[in-house]
Amino acid sequence: MEPLIALITATLVTRTLGPLLSDRLRDNWLALRVGLAAMFVVTGLAHFVGLRDDLVSMVPPSLPAPELLVTVTGVMELAGAAALLHGRTYRWAAAGLALLLVAVFPANVHAASAEMTAVQAESLGVRTALQLVFLSALVAVWWPKTARRRSIPKLSYATRS
């Protein structure tokens, strides 16, 4: 649940207080990128401190080198968080992080089916719902601005004769 809290809090704080610091921070999509970056910093750091042993135990037994996999995914999450904040790399980062979430989902299934404790205490339904929220946010960030503009019809108050 901490990643969701980080996502929501950082997004809202950036959206609310950001415009006081810079006009650039008025952009809702930038606020969402900041929220996602905060979330991936939280989850990425967990791969190295605090929850590392729990995350290693979540790796399905069919995969080799669980400690290495946890380290690599942690580095990827931290690198992706940094890339989300850069104007030239945020779309690549969003796409890569979305693929990463899909790739690590089997670890959630394994943890739920093995009835693991601690960090794995959430049910598979809760895990799936959270993953869908995170994936949706990443897709929203990834989606090109031009496509967003075309997909939302503009309201016109002028009448045609």
pLDDT of 28:
72
Which pair of structure tokens corresponds to residue 5? 């809290």
CB neighbour list of residue 115: distance below 8 Å, 6 or more residues apart: none
Q: For the whole model, what pTM was predicted?
A: 0.81
Tell me the C-alpha to C-alpha distance, in Å, between residue 117 and each of 28, 57, 76, 125, 146.
37, 10, 25, 16, 45
User: Residue 50: what pLDDT?
Assistant: 85
Instruction: Give the span between the Cα atoms of 122 and 67, in whole angstroms.
Output: 22
pLDDT of residue 8: 93
The answer to whether residues 68 and 52 touch, using CB atoms and an 8 Å cutoff, is no
Please tell me the predicted confidence (pLDDT) of residue 100. Answer: 95
pLDDT (0 to 100) of residue 10:
93
pLDDT at 98: 96
- Identify the pLDDT of residue 49: 92
Low-confidence ranges of the chain (pLDDT < 70): 22-26, 115-122, 145-161
Q: Match 């809090």 to its residue by tokens.
A: 9
Using alpha carbons, list the distances in angstroms from residue 36 to 49, 56, 126, 157. 20, 23, 19, 36
